Chains A and B, each alone.
Chain A
Amino acid sequence: MKVYRVKAVMLRHAYEVRRNIDRVTDMVYWPVLDTIVWGFFTIYLAHGGRSGGGLAGLLLGAAILWGMFYAFQRDMAVGFLDELWSRNLINLFSTPLGVWEYLCGLIVVNLFKVGAGAACAGLVAWVCYAFNIFPRLPQFVPFIFNLMLFGLALGVFTSGLIFRYATRVQALAWSFAGLLMPVSCVFYPPSTLPRPLRAIAWILPTTHAFEGMRQVLAGGGFSAARFWQALGLNAIYFALATVFFRWIFESARSRGLLVKLE
C-alpha cells in the first residue's frame, strides 16, 4: 500500500464534496435533521408526553403518513429528473405535449405509486407491530389528501427549481420535504417547539394534518377545523407553486435552458 495513492483517492473525494452539493447534503443535512427531529421528540417525552401503547400507534401512524407526503414530493421531482437524466426533455416537449399535461400525468402515476407504498407500509405495521391503520383510514383520508396536496405543491416548486438550476439542485428532490419535518410536528405537538418555530409550524398544512391525525388516534374524532385550515393553506401554496413553475418554465424557454438541462 502506498500512502500517496491513498492520498490521491482522498483528494478525489474531497474535490467531489467541494463540487457536489449532494455529498454535502449527505454529510451534514441528514444527521442534523435527525438530531433536531428526535431532539424535539425527546423534549415532548420529557415534558410528560404520552407513553406506552398510545405512543407506538402515534409514531407508526405518523411515520406512515409522513412517508406518503415525502414520497409524493420526492416522486414528483424525481419523475422530472428521470427525463433530465435520460436527456428526453427535448423529445417530450417537441411533441404537442403541454407542460400541464405532463404534470397531470406525473401526478396520477405518483398517486398510484404512493398509494401502493403506503398500503405496504400499513400492512407491515399491522403484521409486525399490531398497529392497524386501515379501520382509521376514513378519518385519515382528509388529512392524507391535504398531505398529498402539499407534497404536490412542493414537488411542483422543486421541479421548477430543477428546471432553472438543473441537476446542480437535484438533492432538493430528496431533501426539501425533510427541511420541513422538524416544524411539521410529525411526532410531537406544536407546543413542543420554541415559540418562534410554532408560528412557522401553524402556516404549514402538514402541522394541521398531523395534529388532526393525533386527535383521531387519541379518540377525539375527526377535526374539521384542522382539515379546512390545511386545505386553505394548501390552496395558497399550490397557487404559488404553479405560478412559480409557469414563470420558471417560460423563463427556461426564453433563456434556452430547456435544451441545455443536464
Chain B
Amino acid sequence: MLLEVRHLSKHYGNVLAVEDVSFGIEPGEILGLLGPNGAGKTTTIHMLLGLITPSAGEVRVFGRSFADHREEILQQMNFSSPYVSLPLRLTVMENLGVFARLYNVAEPRRRIGEMLELFGVKHLSDKPISRLSSGENTRVGLCKAMLNRPRLLLLDEPTAYLDPEIAWQVKQVLLAAQREFGTTILYTSHNMPEVERMCSRIVFMHHGRVIAQGSPIEITRAILKEERSEPALEEVFLRVVRLQEAS
C-alpha cells in the first residue's frame, strides 16, 4: 500500500468529525473520497497532510508513519484545493517560484514553465493572483500541486469552477500523470459522473464514518441494495443525503 489509513478519528470535544476511518491506496491508483458536505472528507485530507492532529489512529505513507516522517513524506506529496489561495499580490510565476524552492525542485523556472504549459495558463505567468478568475486560480493551484512530481497527490474538488472543456483537459493531465509516472491520486468531487470515470475505487463517507468502499459498481450495489449493471453514484449520493435528511 502506498497510503494506509488505520482507524483514524478526530473529535472536537463532543463533536465527532471523523470516526474510525480505515482505507488504503495502492501505488498508481486513483481513489475517490466521496460524501455529502460535512461527511469528514476535508478533515480526513487535512489529517493526511498533517494540518490537523488525529485524535486516534495512524497514517502511513510510503510505508512510513506520517507522525514520525512528516518532512520526507510531504516532500513526495502535494495537494490542491480551489478553496485555498496563493498570496494575492504575487504573480503566478513568483508564487510558483516560492513553492518550487519549498520542494527544492531542480531547474525551477523550466519546471514551472512546463506546468503552466500543461494546464494552459502560461500566458498568466506575470499576472498577480488577485487578477485571475476562479478557474484560472484552480489551474494555477494544480500547477503548484504537480511541481514536485508528487508520488501521492491529494486533490480536493480539482475541477470545481472549471468549465467542461477545461475540466476535461485537467482530467486528461491527471490521467496522463497516473499512466506515465504512476502518480497515486486521492480525489474528492461532487461531480459523480467524473468520479465514475476517474476512480477505480471509492471510499464513501457519511457522518464522519466510512459507510462503503469498493469499485463504483460495488458502491452502487451496496448502498442502493439493488442489482445494477452500471455504476450510479449520483443516485447513491442522493439516497445517502435523503436518508440523512429523513433521520
Binding site for B on A (CB under 8 A): 82-83, 86-88, 90-98, 250, 253-256, 258-259
Contacts and interface: CB of A to CB of B under 8 A. Distances in A.
Given A86-B86, A96-B102, A259 B144 contact: no
A92 to B, nearest CB: 8
A91 to B, nearest CB: 6
4 A-B pairs with least C-beta separation: A87-B85, A94-B49, A86-B87, A96-B74
Contacts of B103: 95-96
Contacts of B144: 91
Interface string B16-57: 010000000000000000000000001100100111110000
B1 to A, nearest CB: 21
Contacts of A250: 53
Contact of A91 (B43, B50, B99): B99
Contacts of B42: 259
Given A86-B87, A90-B46, A94-B78, 18 more contacts: A86-B88, A87-B84, A88-B85, A91-B79, A92-B102, A94-B77, A95-B74, A95-B99, A95-B102, A96-B72, A96-B74, A96-B103, A250-B53, A253-B52, A256-B10, A256-B12, A256-B17, A258-B52
Interface of B: 10, 12, 17, 42-43, 46, 49-53, 70-72, 74-75, 77-79, 81, 84-88, 99, 102-103, 144
Contact of A259 (B12, B51, B77): B51
Given A96-B71, A98-B71, A88 B87 contact: yes
B43 A256 contact: yes
Contacts of B81: 90
In this complex, the member of A83, A90, A95 whose beta carbon has the largest number of chain B beta carbons within 10 angstroms is A95
B71 to A, nearest CB: 5
A96 B73 CA distance: 8
A99 to B, nearest CB: 11
A94 B102 contact: no
B57 to A, nearest CB: 14
B71 A254 contact: no
Contacts of B17: 256
Contacts of B10: 256
B84 A91 contact: yes
Contacts of B53: 250, 253-254
B86 A90 contact: no
Nearest to A257: B52
A88 B46 contact: no
B75 A255 contact: no
B122 to A, nearest CB: 21
A93 B70 CA distance: 11
A258 B10 CA distance: 14
Given A94-B74, A95-B99, A95-B102, A259 B52 contact: yes
Contact of A96 (B12, B75, B84): B75
A50 to B, nearest CB: 46
Contacts of A254: 52-53
Contacts of B75: 96
A63 B77 CA distance: 48
Nearest to A253: B53
Contacts of A258: 51-52
B27 to A, nearest CB: 21
In this complex, the member of B10, B50, B53, B81 whose beta carbon has the largest number of chain A beta carbons within 10 angstroms is B53
Contact of A94 (B12, B43, B79, B86): B79
Nearest to A97: B102
A97 B165 CA distance: 35
In this complex, the member of A91, A253, A254, A255 whose beta carbon has the largest number of chain B beta carbons within 10 angstroms is A91
A88 B79 CA distance: 13
Given A82-B87, A86-B87, A94-B79, A259 B46 contact: yes
Contact of B51 (A83, A94, A98): A94
A252 to B, nearest CB: 9
A86 B85 contact: yes
A95 B10 CA distance: 22
Contacts of B50: 93-94, 253
Contacts of A88: 84-87
Contacts of A253: 50-53
A92 B12 CA distance: 24
Contacts of B72: 96
Contacts of A86: 85-88
A11 B74 CA distance: 49
Nearest to B73: A96
A91 B51 contact: no
In this complex, the member of B42, B51, B74 whose beta carbon has the largest number of chain A beta carbons within 10 angstroms is B51
20 contacts: A86-B85, A86-B86, A87-B85, A90-B46, A90-B49, A90-B79, A91-B85, A91-B99, A93-B51, A96-B70, A96-B103, A98-B71, A250-B53, A254-B52, A254-B53, A256-B10, A256-B43, A256-B52, A259-B51, A259-B52
